[in-house]
Amino acid sequence: MQEFRGLGLGAGSGGAPGGGGNRWRMRELAQNEHFDWAIFRRALRAFVPYWPYTIIVTVVILAASFGGVIPAWLTQRIIDEGIQKHRMSIIVEYTLTLILISIGTGLLGVLQTWLSNLIAQNVMADYRIALFRHLQRQTVGFFASRQAGDLVSRVTNDVTAIQSVVTTTLVGFVSNLLNIAATLFLMFSMDWRLAVLAVIVVPGFVIPTQRVGKSRQKLQGHIQNYLSKMTVQLSESLGVSGALLIRIFNRQGAEEKEFAESNHTLRDLQVKQALIGRWLFMWLNMFSSIGPALLWMYGGWLVLQNEIGLGVIVAFTALLSRLYGPLSQLAQLHVSILSSVALFRRIFSIMDEVPEVQDGKESIPDNSVEGRLRLEKVSFSYRSGSEKPSEPQAIRWALQDIELTIEPGETVALVGPSGAGKTTLLNLIPRFSDPASGHLYVDGMDTRSLTLHALRAQMGLVPQDPFFFHDTVASNLRLAKESATAEEMEAACRAAQIHDTINSLPEGYDTIVGERGYRLSGGERQRLAIARVLLQGPKIVLLDEATSALDTVIERKIQDALAVLLEGRTALVIAHRLSTILKADKIVVMANGRIAAIGTHAELVQRDPLYKELYETQFHIEGEMQQVEEKP
């Protein structure tokens, strides 16, 4: 798989599964609590494109570090050379210098914050676009096996959490390290005996941190998973379809209870995470007090012996805060680095999902094909079972040895009982999935050799349940042709017999259709989907006909719109009502994933028992329904 430049987000071998529910991911995170250098190095590659900023930040931090210790030295000079020797000029000179350095250090701090956040926001933006681009390359089956809310959480919550890794963890590590180095340099240059005394307590800052880090890493993984779980529930229950289902079955109380339980668990986990390490930090604070106490006791004795000046002790006391503070923060940064591993593991688990359908290399102009389709010994299987790569999966064959040729301009209908493989076959034509074996050809070109853009530009799809974005009618139409004019959209909608309906809407073509087109009726959505394909103007039409649930008047309007759509185009139609495809050039009868018979309606009624049974059963049902509709 192609690497995402700068991020190192290409597919790895044996990546963790990206979907399948929160329980598996939580078990997986619990089993991976160790620090993973491979993941951390991979995460650091995201910062490579911004190395100039990194260098500047490092220089700024270095300058700020020395600017932070100089006031202690100046304080020592003010006391020993100015106050004790009664030299006002020294006091004024060093005091003004102290003020200027404080201002300069403050400005450097502002610059450091701006640069570190600039790097963080750029890295976050890169991860978001890389994740989104990678998800766009996945097949429909990928999304069918995963919760949309979980994927949204990976792109939003998990990526947003990266900001703290940059601004707090990485920048904090460099800043604290340089502060410690600058502080120790000045301490030893002032008095090596007091400097040794100051660092004696240093081991107490670093020894107890590893166990706390592992505990916080584990909790970080659980917290991210509960955030994902809550995002899933919100996206499902607050959508139109989910909200309708909840109200139909009076599930509001149950949904509130489930959300409250997840919310309370998340609250408890976050409180627990905040409390983990408090004993450690109490230990660190204790050692932070022991150091100054020892310093005053031994330093005071040195002053009484006239071996050092009082200003040296005061300066050392000020420097201790710049030594122990960064040491304490470094100990906490170690914890943060361990916690970030779980975060990056979740992101990389999605990036390591290799798309089942790989893009071809050959390109052809849009709408340049004649429309000949040919399937040679095409078979397709579904895998089911455990998501763990180590456990076997069962194979179920949906299609086996399909042989079919469709000539340019022909209308071929697929009929058969539920589960016969009709929709699976239809999805193979635009390569929503690839067959397990066999080949598909468009005008003699193997579909695997074509780029997905070139292949799908030749095809228009009218699904059984058309999807529309929460946008205007015009915007949803322009998905098919971005440059479409108002006249072109109107012509397509007139042909689809939906123009008058759109004009009657409050704002015409600028009316918001609602989520999934919910403000439109089923028949209106179907005709608008037909208009969208007409606007696209493809040579091949794939139609999952959806008229079985519509009344006779609306069905006739849709059939008239379909007649315009299919004229002069190659069409593959899944027929739910056999009465709608009686004039098809060929009817393909499917059963158990195989082609049982091919012929015209008249031929199949005479020689194929399955088709005859399907037709007679449906004709009887449709006759009864028509009688009911005609009753006054």
Q: What's the pLDDT tens digit per position in 482-532? A: 888 888 888 888 888 888 888 888 888 888 887 777 788 877 888 888 888
Longest dimension (CA), the chain: 121
CATH number where 39 lies: 1.20.1560.10
Q: Is the pLDDT of residue 26 over 70?
A: no
User: Which has more confidence, 120 or 168?
Assistant: 120
**What pLDDT, on a 0 to 100 scale, did the predictor assign at position 500?**
85
Strand order in the sheet with 570-574: 459-462, 540-544, 570-574, 411-415, 586-591, 594-599
**Structural domain contains residue 145:** yes
- Provide the pLDDT for residue 183: 87
pLDDT the model gives residue 262: 84
The winner for highest mean pLDDT among 199-208, 270-279, 379-388, 537-546 is 537-546
What's the pLDDT at 403? 92
**Average pLDDT, rounded, for the chain:** 78
Residues 615, 617: Cα–Cα separation, whole Å: 6
Phi and psi at residue 250, to the nearest 5°: 55, 50
pLDDT for 154: 80
SS3 384: strand
Angle at CA 328, nearest 5°, toward 322 and 332? 140
Over 60: is that where the pLDDT of 388 sits?
no
What tens digit of pLDDT does each residue of 155-198 get?
877 787 777 777 777 777 888 888 888 888 888 888 888 888 87
The answer to whether residue 70 is domain-embedded is yes
* Domains in the chain, number: 1
State whether residue 106 is helix, strand or coil.
Answer: helix
Q: What is the pLDDT of residue 373?
A: 92
Q: Is residue 64 part of a domain?
A: yes
Q: Round to whole Å and give the CA distance between 547 and 577.
A: 7
Whether 579 shows a pLDDT value over 90: the answer reads no
Tokens read off for 162: 């990266």
The mean-pLDDT minimum among 142-146, 320-324, 600-604 falls in 142-146
Taking 60 as the threshold, does the pLDDT of residue 203 lie above it? Answer: yes
95: left (phi over 0), alpha (psi -120 to 50) or beta: alpha
Residue 380 in any domain: the answer is: no
- Residues in CB range of 510: below 8 A, 6 or more apart: 472, 473, 474
pLDDT of 620? 53
pLDDT tens, position by position, 237-259: 776 667 766 766 677 788 888 88
For residue 584, pLDDT over 90 is answered with: no
User: What number is the average pLDDT over the span 331-357?
Assistant: 76
462 backbone dihedrals φ, ψ, rounded to 5°: -115, 100
Rounded mean pLDDT, 24-31:
37
Report the range of poorest mean pLDDT among 348-357, 373-382, 398-407. 348-357
Domain annotation covers residue 87: yes
Angle between helices 486-495 and 552-566 (to 10 degrees): 120
Identify the band that residue 260 occupies on the pLDDT scale cut at 50, 70 and 90.
confident
DSSP character for 49? G
Query: Which whole-number Å values give the CA distances from 268 to 30, 128, 458, in the listed order?
Result: 18, 29, 54
Confidence (pLDDT) at 174: 83
DSSP letters of 202-232? Answer: THHHHTTHHHHHHHHHHHHHHHHHHHHHHHH
Q: pLDDT, tens digit, for every residue of 427-456?
A: 899 898 889 899 999 998 999 999 888 888
310 DSSP 8-state letter: H
Q: Is residue 103 part of a domain?
A: yes
Give the highest mean pLDDT range of 30-34, 337-341, 602-606: 602-606
In which element (H, E) is residue 375 found? strand 373-385
Among 135-139, 219-223, 428-432, 491-495, name the one with the lowest average pLDDT.
Answer: 219-223
Band (392; pLDDT cuts 50, 70, 90): low
Give the C-alpha distances (Å, rounded to integers) separating 506 from 149, 476, 511: 33, 17, 7
For residue 575, pLDDT over 70 is answered with: yes
Print the SS3 string covering 311-367: HHHHHHHHHHHHHHHHHHHHHHHHHHHHHHHHHHHHHHHHHCCCCCCCCCCECCCCC
Q: Tell me what pLDDT residue 24 has.
A: 33
pLDDT at position 198 is 79
What pLDDT sits at residue 524?
A: 84
How large is the average pLDDT for residues 209-229? 70
pLDDT of residue 374 exceeding 90: yes
Confidence of residue 16 (pLDDT cuts 50, 70, 90): very low
User: Is there a domain that residue 125 lies in?
Assistant: yes
Does 630 reside within a domain? no
pTM for the full predicted model: 0.65
In the block, tokens 């089993």 appear at 31
CB burial of residue 617 (10 Å; 0-12, 13-18, 19+): exposed
| Mean pLDDT, rounded, for 590-599 | 90
Between residues 248 and 359, which one has the greater pLDDT?
A: 359
Angle, CA of 612, 615 and 617, to the nearest 5°: 105
pLDDT > 60? residue 21: no
Strands 411-415 and 586-591: parallel
Q: What percent of the chain has pLDDT over 70?
A: 80
Q: What percent of the chain has pLDDT over 90?
A: 7
pLDDT at 390 over 90: no
Rg of the chain, C-alpha, whole Å: 35
User: How confident is the model over 374-389, as a mean pLDDT?
Assistant: 74
Query: What is the reported pLDDT for 31?
Result: 39
Domain of 81, in residue numbers: 22-351
**Tokens of residue 304, six digits:** 């009484």
